[in-house]
Amino acid sequence: MDVARRLGQWGRSWRPGHLLVAAMIMLILVVTAVDIMAPPDVHLGPFLVAAPAITASFAGARTTAIVGGVAVAAQILVAGVRTTPLDLNHSAQIATLALMSVLATFFAHLRVKHQRQVTRLRSVAETAQRVLLRPIPRSIGPLCVASVYLAAEAEAQIGGDLYAAVRTDGGTRVIVGDVRGKGMEAVNEAALTLGAFRAVAHRQAELPALVLWLERALSSELTDPAAEAGRAEDEAESFVTAVVADIPDDKPVVHLVTCGHPPPLVLHDGRVTSLDMPAPAPPLGLTQFVGGAGEEPTVRTFPFGPGDTLLLYTDGVVEARDASGAFYPLTGRLAGQPAGDPEALVDRLCADLLAHVGGCLDDDAAVLAISRLPALVPAAGRAGGGPPAAPPPPSGRAAPPS
């Protein structure tokens, strides 16, 4: 029993890398045995270089050097058995194999060094992303919420996708956005957007006033000469697409302002409805360039009752392509999906999206799913079993917070 237990522990201690190294040693032994038994005019020594070359692709410099040393020793053994290591042909093979082993060891060192750098950068990126995108509670007032951030498989690239939710006295306000570009510039602008939203969204300003506040905060930062200094010409043209939602607690509706962002979707009884805006506002940070500076954006009100699920997402979802170049058909994939469980919906959506692209996204993607709890919405809101008529947006405009 003790022997069996130790053998089991030894077997579990072997990792895939160990098995590959063992395979390379076995390759050296096989080539050596065949080369010794081969006719005098047949030389298999050049095949030994495959062992250190392959090892360099998955192991570190030390392991690669050991495998290369074993290969050189095997070549010397073959030379001693067949003729002599001083034979011109064998001497050339030994010298070439030794040189290739040194080069393989060097490249293994560079690969490991690069991997460590990427790992550190990715760790910093993930930490910054977690700090930037604070976790959203699963339950906010009468709402159930699920969110996910899918990072692209680019080396340590930090995306500018963002989302946040803030409680007000009578409801919940949500923002989902996407900053143009990647890297630290995108992170800075995402942090600025989220900071401005969290600072003022809980105040009793109307939704248009809140969006105007965000626009002024971004415009003043993005056009600041000090902030623009040192930026490349294409990096200076920065903006943020966003959708801002106001979900009251006591009404089965959602108020929306869209700023150049893909329209949200609502799932109701297996049907998917796109909440399109007839006149969306420009992306945040671009109003001064496209006109309309200071004008209040249009607010549209849509039904959002008990059991419905509101889905907000970034363009990394709908612009994801498969091997043939086809975009991800988000609306079609959601049709027939059960609503009411945002976490299950997000899990299914992420799995399907990654399967569509073959497991590797070209751009970061963020998804936020929100369902309204049936018990906390008056039953009259669903009289007749269908969605209620959209009420007009609330009247009265509060001044932007100062």
The predicted-structure confidence for 380-394, as pLDDT tens digits, reads as follows 444 333 444 444 444
pLDDT at 15: 64
pLDDT at 63: 94
Q: What is the mean pLDDT of each run of 10 residues along the chain (402 residues)?
A: 50 66 92 86 83 92 94 90 78 90 95 89 73 86 92 63 91 93 77 90 84 85 50 59 94 94 92 90 76 74 93 94 92 85 93 91 90 63 40 40 38
Rounded CA-CA distance 233/181 in Å is 13
pTM beyond 0.75: the answer is no
In the numeric block, the tokens 């495998």 are attached to 67
pLDDT at 376: 46
pLDDT at 336: 83
pLDDT at 396: 38
Rounded CA-CA distance 289/23 in Å is 63
* Count of Cβ atoms closer than 10 Å to residue 71 Cβ: 31
Q: What are phi and psi of 139, to 5 degrees?
A: -125, 125
- CB contact at 8 A, 336 and 352: no
Torsion of CA 208, 213, 217, 218, to 10 degrees: 0
Rounded CA-CA distance 167/201 in Å is 8
Q: Name the nearest CA neighbour of 305 among 391, 228, 236, 238.
A: 391
Rounded CA-CA distance 294/298 in Å is 13
pLDDT at 318: 93
